[in-house]
Amino acid sequence: MREMASRYPQYNVTTFMPLWLFTDQYDIVVPNTIQNVGIAMLVMIIIALLLIPQPMCAIWVTASIASIDIGVVGYMTVWGVNLDAISMITIIMSIAKTSK
């Protein structure tokens, strides 16, 4: 419906359906998860580079954190957990937990 309404902007058509609130949320979750994990990894590598004197060691720390995130996503797939807002928070928290 949105695509059809966007074809004719001269009519100023507005579409609404209560179910779209949920579908829009699911549509945004995957790009937001990738963006949040990328930002968290970037911040972690910057912190590791600042606090660890050996740059190569900081790279290994970042690789370890990435491995844990991939493991979390893998277990979520095995357990049949869908990627939604709550599971996205779980992935981000796994980065925070491993950095301690």
Where are the domains positioned within the chain? 19-98
The number of helix segments (H) and strand segments (E) in the chain equals: 4, 0
CA pair distance 95, 27, nearest whole angstrom: 23
27-80 pLDDT tens trace: 777 788 788 778 877 888 888 888 888 888 888 888 888 888 788 778 888 888
4-29 pLDDT tens trace: 878 888 888 877 777 766 676 777 77
pLDDT at 91 over 80: no
CA pair distance 85, 69, nearest whole angstrom: 16
pLDDT at 96 over 70: no
Q: What is the pLDDT of residue 100?
A: 54
Average pLDDT of every residue of the chain: 78
Q: Please list, in sequence order, all residues whose beta carbon lies within 8 angstroms of the beta carbon of residue 92, skipping any fewer than 6 positions away.
A: 36, 37, 40
